[in-house]
Chains A and B, each alone.
Chain A
Amino acid sequence: MEFSAFDLFQAVVKGLLTGMVYSLMALGLTVIFGVMRVVNFAHGEMMVVAMYLAVMSFAALGIDPMLALIPIAAILFAFGYGLQRTLINRFINVPEHMQFILMLSVAIILVNVCLVLAGPDAQGVQLDYALDSFEIGELLIDKVRVYAALGAVVISALLYLFFSRTRTGKAIRAAADNHAGALVVGLDVNRLYAITFGIGAACVGAAGALTIMLVQVQPFLAVEYTLLAFTIVIIGGLGSLRGAIAGGLLIGVSEAIAGFLLEPSLKSVFSFGLLILVLLIRPQGLFGKAA
């Protein structure tokens, strides 16, 4: 196979852009874990739900996913908020495997509701600018990928501002730092947890709406996205925002390089290899604090 350094560079740029969307998806997972120590095994399923919502709003109303992502994020926020209030809150202090089974049952229900409503075939959106690309010198980059990446960056930045500037954001960080302390100073921790889960779900919802611009959706993708999100946050450090962003970019690029050098179907071998390596050498992840 013949390839030039330039093609590789182009693949890396694409990988970085895709990685930004991955980062947003992983941010949702890491926020939930960082605050509640609950592992959201239904993360990929929420992603797929959001992708279907984007497909439906495009097919029925012709709304561009870039716009649809706002109502979709809102719907997933409400879903996450409600889920935390009704189910997950009772499972905060139970052993991990019980949380796992709970989230698993939620995942099974979500993905099969998608299957029943949308069927097993791949679906996507036909944007009229889907085939356009930006030219920077010789570099050719799909417009959709740039838009999706920009959307992800903006939302990630908003998330950062929320946690660093707003009272609620600070209160959530306080509850994550010291649960008992947060209760003592009178924070409504249950409400904060529900908001956190809502935000996590909204992140993955927005990521789903952006991703539908790049790939078609099928129900079985849910498991892959769950695994992908986990790989990213473990590499970056479970619970760390910076880690999720760095991990997303890293996986985006490594997938792009693997797809370029090897068969595309082998690309996740790279990611899992990276995951195993990180688990062994630095189990707290690149940006995680040692346990």
Chain B
Amino acid sequence: MAIIERLFGGVPRRALVGLAMLAAVLLLAPFVVSPFVVTVILLMFYFAYVGQAWNIMMGFAGQLSLGHSLYIGLGAYAAAALYMKAGIGPWAGIFLAIALAMAVGGIIGYLGFRFAITGVYFALLTIAFAEFFRILFDHIDWLGASAGYYLKVENRQENDPFNLRGSPTMFYYIMFGLVVLAFGLCRWLLTGRLGHYWLAIREDPEAAQATGIEVFRYKMMAVLLSSGMTALGGVFIAFYNNNLYPEQIFSMGRSIELLLGPIIGGLGTLFGPILGSALLVLVGEIMTDLTEGSQLAGLKQIFYGLVVLLIVLFLPGGVWPWLARLCGFDRDGERK
């Protein structure tokens, strides 16, 4: 019961009702909407999940990572290689994927925090490592190098969730489950000791250290958790897309894509990554629709850039804190 109290305690009733209704709608959606819409919502789930993972590091512990595509790529390649080379299914491959990403994330975190690299410099360290691995994977012939690595696609009548072979609807429910778990985990962490340590470190690392919080240790925990969770997202996206290209999966563009959601939604908030990802995917789809037939690649991205620009200008705290106030979901202005 203590867990229930930590997850739901202090949340306004109307927010709980709203959350339950949203979950119900999303659970039933695949029965109602078109297959295309299912893939769009699936994309929202994916970005919400990896955004949530990124948010642990930046939103909670205040460590800016611009290289999270590294963990997606490592997770994706690890699980895909195990499946294709050794016939080990993705659910077992997850362990290697997570371990690998946590090891690399741990090294980056250790180097960064031990050598007191902060702010922009830390962000650049994360980019440098991601770029390093991008070029490295471009040259690993065993994994297809720059020509890409492909997962076997078979025509089958039934979904095979144990090997993650199946329809978008299957992935929809898996990703939905991940989003719910990540959301719950983050809520649980934030209401506990660890979460409070993180927030203290984010607000003022020196003051946190002075009050006896082992800053290095808790920053490391944020990096490890964040990188491991991100790798898990990479496993599923690998099995969903069935192809991996180092140029894409490790690119800085991917890192940026996944952090826009939480920033637009509201950095350090729990619902921000979900709302932000949903908004960004939605804007992207609308723009694709509007610019369809105009033959102008890039027009969509320009509008995308403009939307991001408008949000940073007028809602610098993110959309969710503003919306939450509007709907009365926040309790005395507290971040939820």
Q: Chain A: which residue is nearest B132 at the CB level?
A: A272
CB-defined contacts of A275 to chain B, threshold 8 Å:
124, 128
Bound-complex Cα distance A102 to B308 (A): 8
Q: Chain A: which residue is nearest B146 at the CB level?
A: A265
| A276 contacts B129, C-beta separation under 8 Å | yes
Chain A stretch 254-291: residues in CB contact (< 8 A) with chain B:
263, 265-266, 268-269, 272-273, 275-276, 279-280, 283
Q: Is B330 an interface residue (CB 8 A)?
A: no
CB-defined contacts of A272 to chain B, threshold 8 Å:
128, 131-132, 135
| A98 contacts B302, C-beta separation under 8 Å | no
Q: Is B140 an interface residue (CB 8 A)?
A: no
Interfacial residues, chain B to chain A (CB-CB below 8 A): 58, 64, 66, 111, 115-117, 119-121, 123-125, 127-129, 131-132, 135-136, 138-139, 146, 251-253, 256, 260, 263, 267, 296-299, 301-302, 304-306, 308-309, 312-313, 316
| B312 contacts A97, C-beta separation under 8 Å | no
Q: Is A115 an interface residue (CB 8 A)?
A: yes
Interfacial residues, chain A to chain B (CB-CB below 8 A): 39, 87, 90, 94, 96-98, 100-102, 104-109, 111-116, 120, 219, 223, 227, 230-231, 234, 238, 263, 265-266, 268-269, 272-273, 275-276, 279-280, 283
CB-defined contacts of A39 to chain B, threshold 8 Å:
120
Known: A116-B296, A116-B302, A283-B121. A94 touches B316 (CB 8 A): yes
CB-defined contacts of B136 to chain A, threshold 8 Å:
269
Q: Main SS of chain B's interface residues? A: helix
| A116 contacts B297, C-beta separation under 8 Å | yes
Partner of A279, one of B115, B135, B297, B301: B115
Minimum distance in angstroms from A153 CB to a CB of chain B:
27
Partner of B312, one of A105, A116, A263: A105
| A108 contacts B132, C-beta separation under 8 Å | no
CB-defined contacts of B298 to chain A, threshold 8 Å:
112-116, 219
CB-defined contacts of A263 to chain B, threshold 8 Å:
139
Given contacts A101-B260, A279-B128, 5 further A-B contacts (CB under 8 A): A96-B120, A230-B124, A266-B139, A276-B128, A283-B117
CB-defined contacts of A105 to chain B, threshold 8 Å:
305-306, 308-309, 312
CB-defined contacts of B301 to chain A, threshold 8 Å:
108, 111-112, 115
CB-defined contacts of B120 to chain A, threshold 8 Å:
39, 96, 238
Q: Chain A: which residue is nearest B135 at the CB level?
A: A269
Bound-complex Cα distance A155 to B260 (A): 37
| A120 contacts B297, C-beta separation under 8 Å | yes
CB-defined contacts of B306 to chain A, threshold 8 Å:
105, 109
Minimum distance in angstroms from A79 CB to a CB of chain B:
15
Bound-complex Cα distance A113 to B267 (A): 29
| B125 contacts A279, C-beta separation under 8 Å | yes
CB-defined contacts of A116 to chain B, threshold 8 Å:
296-299, 302
CB-defined contacts of A269 to chain B, threshold 8 Å:
132, 135-136
Bound-complex Cα distance A231 to B132 (A): 13
CB-defined contacts of B256 to chain A, threshold 8 Å:
104
